[in-house]
Structure 1
Amino acid sequence: MTNASEYAKKVQENIHQGNSHETEFLQAIDEFVPTIIPFLENHPEYQEKNILSLVTEPERVIQFRVPWMDDQGDWQVNRGYRIQFNSALGPYKGGLRFHPSVNLSVLKFLAFEQIFKNALTGLPIGGGKGGSDFDPKGKSDGEVMRFCQSFMTELAKYIGPNTDIPAGDIGVGKREIGYMFGMYKRIKQYDAGVMTGKPLEFWGSQGRKEATGYGAVYFAKHLLADLGETLENKKAIVSGSGNVAIYCIEKLYQLGATPVTCSDSNGFIYDEAGIDLELLKELKEVHRERLTEYIKARPSAQYVEGSVWNLDVEVEVAFPCATQNEIQIDSAKRLVKNGVRIVAEGANMPSSLEAADYFVASGVYYCPGKAANAGGVAVSALEMSQNSQRLQWETEEVDQKLDGIMKHIYETCRDTAIAHDAKDNFMLGANIAGFAKVAQAMAIQGLV
């Protein structure tokens, strides 16, 4: 038997050879594999069973055509996907993303990350992801409805409350979930547990839309508590202006911090006095406006084109909540120079591998997405529990459970890193803790 480092390197090389065109997926693999070598050294039984090769290969990849008609009566077509990556711990669980950037590589990276994120929650869910290259922006409600109905006509063949439970992601909010749920119900039957992130009117969960943003802040809160500190009076940079960013900003305010930025795909707002949360919610949740409208209502703020990570301002905490690879190495260096101490990822893989490594090497408390943004899927799993019981918990109960789950995830990452002589390396701690749980289940279940 080869040593763990040689084994991991060989598996990594094989993945590169077999998926050479899948940039995002390979980035996720390259971030993950080197960090679990210490665990493999201590557990040769997983090397003997070749678990690493098995866990990095999806159980099922589904791709399909999504035909739909626009408002002019013209026929359109998009690609739809569902990656059912790993079911060792439970049914596949992961969101649906509607965005022009969606392709097989993006969804495989998201689904792969989802396996270990879901494992860290301690809840009985496997990992999956799906979506389409359809762009809801600029589409009428009728066009979005027709697309969602067509998408679900095909997806319904592969999902179910005990098989695969999709949720929302970028481009998929309660409107899209509602249309897809309605079509599933028409094709199959009413089953509240087949999707999560549903509107409250048909068995969604209180606190679900807030969960990812709140969870990232809770992760930072528990880290700071270990240091004898709180978020009180700390200045924060937040990227994005969707659900994750909005509710990250809300929880930061609740815990005494001052978030000074938010962003969209064109530029960012810098509001030195603190982002006007109610204005932001009105623009993004009610009117679906661009952030350029923010400064019309609040002229004391600045709107700057480009990446928020180009901003030169002293901050202690950063919450990237937009999309993958938004923080490159130059931005990471700027953040460190400006005094950032904690980077808690609300988005999935928002830091490039080079940026993430730089944070760790610079002594920044780097909290990877698979740990820090697990609040969303955690409350999705709580929604599944509520649906099974035909109950709807109060907001306070859901929020308390979310805080407890994020505390458990933080402590698991912390303690796992310490156990492998890598104190404060939460990337290593998250990867090993998630992998250990999934690998054990896969070994017990046999070669399936």
Structure 2
Amino acid sequence: MPRPAASASSSESAVQAIIDDVRARGLDALRDFALRFDGVEQDHPRVPAHVIEAAVAGLDDDVRLALEEAIRRARIFAKAQVPADVEVAIAPGATLRSRWVPVDRVGLYVPGGLAAYPSSVVMNVVPAQAAGVGSIALASPPQRDFGGWPHPVILAAASMLGVTEVYAMGGAQAVAALAYGVPGASALPAGSDATGSGSGAIDPVNVITGPGNVFVATAKRLVLGAVGIDSEAGTTEIAILADAGADADLVAADLVSQAEHDPQAASVLVTDSGDLATAVVEALQVRAAATRHADRVRTALSGPQSGVIMVDDVEHGIAVCDAYAAEHLEIQTADAARVADRIRNAGAIFVGAYSPVSLGDYCAGSNHVLPTSGTASFASGLNVTTFLKIVQLVHYDRDALREVSGSILSLAEAENLPAHGEAVSARFPADGVV
């Protein structure tokens, strides 16, 4: 399968060093990394309220309307995803419940770098709010061109969603700060609302979500256990399963749309048609040359992570797509809906010629924070349940416990844990339960 030449594992030592430094030096480390990686000098990463308000006031009207529509559609889907609690009677007097409970606090990461991603603000915040999370912190890299704060459109999107705790910090250092917290060693910038246990502190979160580059994805994996994460949502990738009936130019347009994210982005065509493959390659050359980020696109398309995979037929293509486990998978074949239902491993599946990945990136209502690098074989895209946990409630009355007491005693003895059984028999001293 086409994969990046450099894997996430190759960045682990560098990322671990960053995490360790943030844990050891706190705000001083964050300041040093902001200067080193972003060229920004900062006293504290917390974005002041007046900076956020100014970003909202300066937001382009068309962008505001587009964000409102994206938020509206995302909220519809997120609300529908909220799972119901379950209660079941196992036996007379024996009741089990599973109750979905939101985590207390989450850290949401929004990339900066080569582009601004207000859509990622929507994708992170909306499901967290639908889950009922009470405390939300958002982090995005500082931008030298915008006074050392995140891109204004990101700040505006956060404000539109009611998020006021925003930090100008990016990369592995942001993940570390959210996961482990940062003691308050200095005052917050003027206009900020206080947070944390001390002046200027960043409180640790329970769950970290959001897409990013290989360093962000690696950092999330390394802090897993201290916090929960959504998935390894790293550099973007698209795979398209297409047959001879697909429109080569539309296929090429969709491959280019994801290649413009990053020079390491992956664009893969899976097809059983040699004619289509040839036509797509020709269309890619035209589109790659004409697009605004031509150099970035050409680099991505020519890398080892991108390419054309020839298969015997669509059936073979389904197997290949399941093995690849794409972040985004488009199905442009005859009977696309039936083919899509056969796919097991993908972050999101886009069915038919009029469901491009760009739709999901912005306004489909689905979530674009998705597992990459083959992790879709076991991981899910960001959704409401990412921010929820199940609490199990067990309620047995005396008769119900007595009914199963013999089984408990037998299993406790089999595991050589007699005190487990004694905890049950102690409840029936007059009944001869031993």
Tell whether the structures are fold-level matches, with TM greater than 0.5: no
Q: Which has the higher helix share?
A: 1
Which structure has the larger Rg over C-alpha atoms?
2
